């Protein structure tokens, strides 16, 4: 097996040693020795040395209540430091250091496309028109506290400073001392949130990602894109191009989250404007120091007269308006009456003076100065705008139907809820074509409807640049879309906002093409959407509903058919991928996923959710963000200009054959086996997940109910914690077993060879199986399952997991998992001695927790240690939900 890169290994060792020094100082030598003893036993257990497993369990069982927390925290902290070292190494690899995991550069991809026959003019046009939008979601999977994330970021900076061969001994010592201090501060900081963040807190966290990383990363990336495009095509990026957009669900996603109200959404819009004004103010003050020159063109002179420092004068006026804007937004957040006179509100107010300065400098032959920091500010202004981030609104379809129904009933026009879809459509289109207001004066709607209408009013008061999409979850009919447009219009919306149906369940995905065709057939709607449509594909709920293999195939087919339907009606379709971080929620390496989409479905535009800890792993540091932006952009351009081939009919038949079997076997367990839900509740920490104050949203859609009431994230989180990883492989095991029995593995190997979609699916399945652990899953069962008749189900699931591993190895003709991913395999191996004790501790702590709850009182130390095990295992697995 490939070892870790020597520099990475050295960094992991340095961080671990510094953590050990902090532990030696407090709690002291005895605790340090106990931790080292447990770690050695875990390593021996992994080597399967005789009696080592029992020794590990015995050592953990001997821990006193006072020792539980420091021991648990030590293993958690090490895993966070290991992640930090790996993350830094990922950036470092892309700075000329040798590696087998380099992100392909923009220039290399452009040259490959040209060599493959792509016309340079076509390449330039596609890049100039590119639209990639990252949607930061409030999905609660970021376990680490913000205060610790900031410390980890500075630790990464320290590793960067150490990465110089010409450091003097004193300089090196100074950096190591700072690193030691940061690790000591982290060790003495409580890593668990004790208060659930509000929706506004989540939005502020999203703004901080922009301030601390993307604000710097975006212009750096666009400079690279500009240079590579210019070299490949002879033309650079247009001045006003904004190929990357950042949107957010934080403060806008009200689906199943009663904590997101219209007041919250209004506050988030205002906070975004406050933050943007503050960031642009810093830019303008820096630009005033830079642009001291006196030459100016006639256009600029016409505005500033004979000023000796014309650029500084224009920027001073912009600075004053930014200060007013910031003050107005701050007062508005506090609920105070604020003067809007002179503030910057429309994006043009910000971009026009900057572009005026740019044109003047170019006209005066000062192009080098124009293309300095001023260009970076212009690109930020076009990307982030005055609102800083585009806020999506998400609401469930039935809430809009309820609002229209109450309105129709009040006006005496009939019972909307009993109308057929055709009747609803006819009514909605007639109202949309007319001009009369529909919402009556003095009408007192019910509280839920009042909230829907108030949200529409808040949205209607924004500029187009402040808004992303209005996403309708559980959408299935054209009236679901038309009712939202009508409600927005009634609220005073003056421009057409993107209204996006979200197709989530298996049935929704199958019905999506017909639903969209019916919508495109409405003449009024085709005019409204102006030839552009966005459709969201839900990965999480479809996987929970049907199993990962069936869901992946249903998503693929839905995208194919949605693309074909849009093309038939002359509509440009953008697919919005609601992927989570884990494979069970559509996760995995982004570039592989994009390059395996159906041909034609990635047509120069791509929208994707980024959630929780994945935001930090991809965009948490400026250089990391540049790397991620490069990876996504190259994949979208390549998928657009050199899409994968259409799959053969034979391969489709095989997929239908496989998924028929996987769906049936998945649902037999999850839906039809009466023992499944009790087993799930007893063997996983699902019932304790509510103790982790992860996000503002409840873990359940309903307080009672089975798996169907559980959100996709806790569903994945729970199985990951105890390493059965069930959502990602259940069903695939039977499909592969049947394929082997019917001698169809050669067909599957041919599909892997020629069809990126199937190859990606198999690779993702292998990654999940490598994270699964039969011994740990068995230990949870022995420790936690009280109803002994449930053990037969557990034994069956573990047997099926083992069979799935064996069949996958047979399919890929390998001896061990991850043979072609040696770096990832070794990374897992390094983590195991730290995650294993956390698993064994968690099982024991869950047992104590449940017993104590039965007795009426859970000891604080047990509950705190339990939360730390959840955080630590999440860090060890590199994802939660």
Return phi, psi of residue 606, to 5°.
Answer: -155, 135
- DSSP strand E in 316-434: where? 390-396
- Side-chain-side CA neighbours of 76 within 13 Å: the count stands at 28
839 is catalytic: no
Distance in angstroms between the alpha carbons of the first and the last residue of the chain: 29
DSSP states of 322-378 = HHHHHHHHHHHHTT-----TT---SHHHHHHHHHHHHHHHHHTT-HHHHTTHHHHHH
Beta bridge partners of 58: none
Q: How far is Cα 783 from Cα 523, in angstroms, rounded to an integer? A: 62
- C-alpha to C-alpha distances, 388 to 198, 212, 245, 381, 385, nearest whole angstrom: 20, 13, 10, 9, 5
> What span, in angstroms and rounded, lies between the C-alpha atoms of 132 and 629?
9
Neighbours of 772 (CB within 10 A): 22
Q: What is d(CA 509, CA 654) in angstroms, rounded to the nearest whole number? A: 20
DSSP state of 700: B
Q: What is the token pair recorded at 303? A: 């505005």
CA dihedral sign of residues 351, 357, 363, 368:
negative
- What one-character-per-residue DSSP string does 714-728 give? HHHHHHHHTT--HHH
Task: Look at the alpha carbons of 469, 475, 477, 479 in this order and tell me if their dihedral is positive or negative.
Answer: negative
Annotate 790-801 with b (16+ C-beta within 10 A) or e (fewer). beebbeebbebb
The whole-angstrom separation of Cα 204 and Cα 210 is: 10
**Cis? peptide before 389, omega within 30° of 0:** no
For the chain, give percent helix, strand, coil, nearest 5: 65, 5, 25
Q: How far apart are CA 402 and CA 399, in angstroms?
A: 5
Question: Would you give the DSSP letter of residue 539?
Answer: S
How far is Cα 727 from Cα 714, in angstroms, rounded to an integer?
11
| Chain centre to alpha carbon of residue 225 | 23
Residues 6+ apart with CB under 8 A from 413: 427
Angle, helices 822-855/52-61, rounded to nearest 10 degrees: 40
- 663 touches 731 (CB < 8 A): yes
Partner residues linked to 245 by β-bridges: 133
Pick the catalytic residue from 89, 124, 139, 400: 139
For residue 544, indicate whether it is catalytic. Answer: yes
Describe the crossing of helices 612-619 and 622-641 by its angle, rounded to 10 degrees. Answer: 100
Per-residue tokens: 291: 């642009």
- What is the secondary structure of 192-226 as a DSSP string? S-SSPPPHHHHHHHHHHHIIIIIHHHHHHHHHHHH
**DSSP tag of 695:** -
Query: Residue 499's beta-bridge partner residues?
Result: 470
Short-list 64, 62, 69, 78, CA closest to 22 = 78
Closest CA to 225 of 121, 127, 337: 127
Q: Are 296 and 353 in contact (CB under 8 A)?
A: no
Residue 315 contacts residue 284 (beta carbons within 8 Å): yes
CA distances from 859 to 192, 721, 762, 865 (A): 16, 22, 45, 10
User: What CA–CA distances, in Å, run from 287 to 274, 280, 445?
Assistant: 20, 10, 52
Query: Of the listed 544, 561, 812, 826, which one is catalytic?
Result: 544
Which residues have a catalytic role annotated? Answer: 139, 544
């Amino acid at each position: 097996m490939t070892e870790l890169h020597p520099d990475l290994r050295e960094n992991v060792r340095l961080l671990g040693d510094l953590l050990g020094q902090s532990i030696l100082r407090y709690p002291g030598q005895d605790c340090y020795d106990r931790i080292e003893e447990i770690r050695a036993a875990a390593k021996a257990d992994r080597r399967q040395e005789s009696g080592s497993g029992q020794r590990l369990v015995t050592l953990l069982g001997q821990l006193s209540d006072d020792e539980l927390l420091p021991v648990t925290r030590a293993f958690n902290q090490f895993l966070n430091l290991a992640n930090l070292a790996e993350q830094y190494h990922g950036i470092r690899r892309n700075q000329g250091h040798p590696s087998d995991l380099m992100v392909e550069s923009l220039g290399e991809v452009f040259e490959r496309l040209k060599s493959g026959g792509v016309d340079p003019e076509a390449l330039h046009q596609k890049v100039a028109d590119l639209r990639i939008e990252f949607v930061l979601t409030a999905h609660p999977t970021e376990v680490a506290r913000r205060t610790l994330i900031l410390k980890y970021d500075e630790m990464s900076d320290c590793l960067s400073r150490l990465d110089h061969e010409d450091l003097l001994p004193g300089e090196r010592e100074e950096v190591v001392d700072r690193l030691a201090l940061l690790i000591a501060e982290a060790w003495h900081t409580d890593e668990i949130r004790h208060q659930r963040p509000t929706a506004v807190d989540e939005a502020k966290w999203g703004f901080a990602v922009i301030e601390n990383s993307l604000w710097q990363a975006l212009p750096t990336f666009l400079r690279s894109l500009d240079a590579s495009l210019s070299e490949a095509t002879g033309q650079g990026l247009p001045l006003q191009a904004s190929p990357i957009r950042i949107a957010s669900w934080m403060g806008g996603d009200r689906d199943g989250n009663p904590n997101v109200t219209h007041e919250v959404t209004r506050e988030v819009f205002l906070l975004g404007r406050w933050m943007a004004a503050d960031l642009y103010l810093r830019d303008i003050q820096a630009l005033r120091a830079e642009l001291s020159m006196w030459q100016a063109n006639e256009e600029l002179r016409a505005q500033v007269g004979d000023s000796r420092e014309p650029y500084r004068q224009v920027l001073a006026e912009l600075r004053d308006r930014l200060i007013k804007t910031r003050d107005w937004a701050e007062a508005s957040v506090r609920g105070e009456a604020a003067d809007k006179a002179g503030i910057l509100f429309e994006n043009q107010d910000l971009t026009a003076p900057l572009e005026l300065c740019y044109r003047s400098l170019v006209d005066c032959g000062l192009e080098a100065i124009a293309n300095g920091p001023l260009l970076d500010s212009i690109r930020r202004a076009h990307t982030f705008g005055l609102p800083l981030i585009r806020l999506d609104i998400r609401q469930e379809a039935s809430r809009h139907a309820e609002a229209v129904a109450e309105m129709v009933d009040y006006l005496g026009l009939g019972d909307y809820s009993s109308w057929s879809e055709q009747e609803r459509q006819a009514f909605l289109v007639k109202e949309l074509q007319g001009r009369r207001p529909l919402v009556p004066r003095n009408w007192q709607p019910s509280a839920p409807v009042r909230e829907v209408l108030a949200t529409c009013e808040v949205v209607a008061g924004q500029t187009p640049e402040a808004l992303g999409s209005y996403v309708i979850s559980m959408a299935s009919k054209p009236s679901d879309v038309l009712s939202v447009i009508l409600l927005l219009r009634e609220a005073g919306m003056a421009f057409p906002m993107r209204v996006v149906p979200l197709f989530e369940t298996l049935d929704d995905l199958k019905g999506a093409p017909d639903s969209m065709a019916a919508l495109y057939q409405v003449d009024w709607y085709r005019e409204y959407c102006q030839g552009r449509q966005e459709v969201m594909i839900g990965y999480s709920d479809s996987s929970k509903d049907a199993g990962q293999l069936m869901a992946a195939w249903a998503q693929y087919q839905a995208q194919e058919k949605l693309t074909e339907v849009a093309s038939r009606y002359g509509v440009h379709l953008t697919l919005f991928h609601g992927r989570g971080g884990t494979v069970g929620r559509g996760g995995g390496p982004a570039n592989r996923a994009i390059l395996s989409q159906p041909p034609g479905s990635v047509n120069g535009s791509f929208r994707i959710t980024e959630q929780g800890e994945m935001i930090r792993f991809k965009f948490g540091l400026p250089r990391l963000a540049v790397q991620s932006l490069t990876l996504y952009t190259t994949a979208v351009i390549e998928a657009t200009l050199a899409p994968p081939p259409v799959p053969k009919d034979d391969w489709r038949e095989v997929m239908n054959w496989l998924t028929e079997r996987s769906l049936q076997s998945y649902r037999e367990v999850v839906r039809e086996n009466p023992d499944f839900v009790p087993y799930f509740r007893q063997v996983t920490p699902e019932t304790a997940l509510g103790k982790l104050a992860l996000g503002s949203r409840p873990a359940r859609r309903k307080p009672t109910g089975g798996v169907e009431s559980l959100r996709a994230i806790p569903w994945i989180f729970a199985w990951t914690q105890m390493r059965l990883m069930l959502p990602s492989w259940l069903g695939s095991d039977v499909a592969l077993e049947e394929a082997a029995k019917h001698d169809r593995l050669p067909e599957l190997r041919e599909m892997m060879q020629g069809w990126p979609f199937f190859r990606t699916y198999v690779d993702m399945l292998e990654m999940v199986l490598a994270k699964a652990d039969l011994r740990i899953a068995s230990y949870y069962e022995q420790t936690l399952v009280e109803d002994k008749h449930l053990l037969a189900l557990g034994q069956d699931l573990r047997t099926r997991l083992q069979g799935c591993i064996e069949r996958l190895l047979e399919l890929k003709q390998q001896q061990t998992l991850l043979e072609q991913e040696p770096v990832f395999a070794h990374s897992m191996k390094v983590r195991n001695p730290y995650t294993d004790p956390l698993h064994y501790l968690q099982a024991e702590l869950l047992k104590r927790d449940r017993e104590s709850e039965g007795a009426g009182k859970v000891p604080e130390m047990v509950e705190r240690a339990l939360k730390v095990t959840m955080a630590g295992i999440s860090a060890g697995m590199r994802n939660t939900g």
